[in-house]
Amino acid sequence: MASEGREDEHPSVTLFRRYLRIRTVQPKPDYGAAVAFLEERGRQLGLGCQKVEVAPGLVVTVLSWPGTNPKLSSVLLNSHTDVVPVFKECWSHDPFEAFKDADGYIYARGAQDMKCVSIQYLEAVRRLKAEGHHFPRTIHMTFVPDEEIGGHQGMELFVQRPEFKALRAGFALDEGLANPTDAFTVFYSERSPWWVQVTSTGKPGHSSRFIEDTAAEKLHKVVSSVLAFREKERQRLQSNPHLKLGSVTSVNLTKLEGGVAFNVVPATMSAGFDFRVAPDVDLKAFEEQLRSWCQAAGQGVTLEFPQKWSEPRVTSIDDSDPWWAAFSGACKDMNLTLEPEVFPAATDSRYLRAAGIPALGFSPMNRTPVLLHDHDERLHEAVFLRGVDIYTRLLPALASVPTLASER
């Protein structure tokens, strides 16, 4: 193992591994240690540092590198500080040791999602500053809590704050996904998470009898309708090689509840579904479809939405768009192949796009299996370091986008 502090380890990798060891794991993340770490980096880099407490104990850290033209809107580089839980017994190495094996793979929760990107931003800015660069647009790096549990006490609150509006963000980068091929995936939109709870009420009684109009019977009809829709979308995805997962609507039955005893027919049963609705779907018509399935099942079947995102936005990837032109042009100069897609799950980008800020999801990890939330999440140090190089080329292009018509 190449341990931390050895002379042959790149200092950016050492810093990455330091950050990975901070246990910002849900449900009880050590946010204090993460904020202290980021403040320390800000001081060392000579950046402005602002801490915005959006909810009790939940702080957004903002590190800012002022541009030479304060009239222009800024470039926002977003990342989240929390990581998902682990099952330690399923890992080859301690998920918070940031173990590096002899081949250069770093094993840690957050290695791909998304502490790598946070450090890549910081190291790219460090390198550019050390080289004496200045750019017209201000670069803000935001490090937000709560993303892994929906962002409701993180980015969702932050975008409503005066401190966020004062950043005057014109364009944002946020997280993407690894790509196992030579290409790099970039996400210009994402599916809307709809969590649907269907509750069915019916006649109870002794389970030895053929009782009519039971809760289970009616709930079964709704479940059948939803799963038939699921199969239709699955077939649509599989039959069209041009479609990616984010282009269709997926659904899974994730909760089934009800019943009190084996010999009692329950009066109430419920099912929970996780829909991820594609951005081109008519949301009003889709909700009407869901309600019609409930009505067709019989009386006493209702639905509610524990989560329902209803503001899907699409960021332009047209060559005439100055932000996309800057991003894709810099990638072209580096000979990077981009694969634009709709993100299949949800990220904090949805709150940024809903606030009117174009955002791209991009984590520069190619030739890398997608291991976010997985056991043995890991990233090769060479892939990580190449990501620093990539941001070192991307940031000047984005921070030098010429004055837009809306900024004159």
303, 329: one domain: no
296, 395: one domain: no
Contact (Cβ atoms closer than 8 angstroms) between residue 175 and residue 252 = no
To the question of pTM greater than 0.85 for the whole model, the response is yes
The pLDDT, as a whole number, for residue 1 is 44
Catalytic one of 113, 123, 146, 147: 147
Which two structure tokens, joined as six digits, stand for 171? Answer: 């364009």
Does the annotation count 319 as an active-site position?
no
Which two structure tokens, joined as six digits, stand for 114? Answer: 């998304």
51, 78: one domain: yes
- At 259, which CATH number? 3.30.70.360
Decide the pairing of beta strands 169-174 and 74-80.
parallel
The pLDDT, as a whole number, for residue 398 is 98
The pLDDT, as a whole number, for residue 103 is 97
String of DSSP letters for 13-79? HHHHHHHHTS--BTTS--HHHHHHHHHHHHHHHT-EEEEEEEETTEEEEEEEE--S-TTSPEEEEEE
3-state secondary structure of 283: helix
- At 355, which CATH number? 3.40.630.10
Residue 55's domain spans which residues? Answer: 11-189+312-407
175, 261: one domain: no
- Could you tell me if residue 243 is left (phi over 0), alpha (psi between -120 and 50 degrees) or otherwise beta? beta
The pLDDT, as a whole number, for residue 61 is 98
Does the annotation count 333 as an active-site position?
no
289, 398: one domain: no
Contact (Cβ atoms closer than 8 angstroms) between residue 100 and residue 1 = yes
Which two structure tokens, joined as six digits, stand for 365? Answer: 């990890």
Last residue of a domain, one of 280, 308, 336: 308
Tell me which residue has tokens 């053929």. Answer: 210
Q: What H or E segment, with its residue span, contains residue 388?
A: helix 381-399
pLDDT, mean of each 10-residue run, the chain (408 residues): 64 98 98 98 98 98 97 98 97 98 98 98 98 98 97 97 98 98 98 97 97 97 98 98 96 97 98 97 98 98 96 96 98 98 96 98 98 97 98 98 94
182, 196: one domain: no
176, 302: one domain: no
363, 296: one domain: no
Distance CA 45, CA 48 (A): 9
The pLDDT, as a whole number, for residue 8 is 87
DSSP character at residue 344: S
Hey, what amino acid is at 307? Answer: Q
The pLDDT, as a whole number, for residue 77 is 99
103, 228: one domain: no
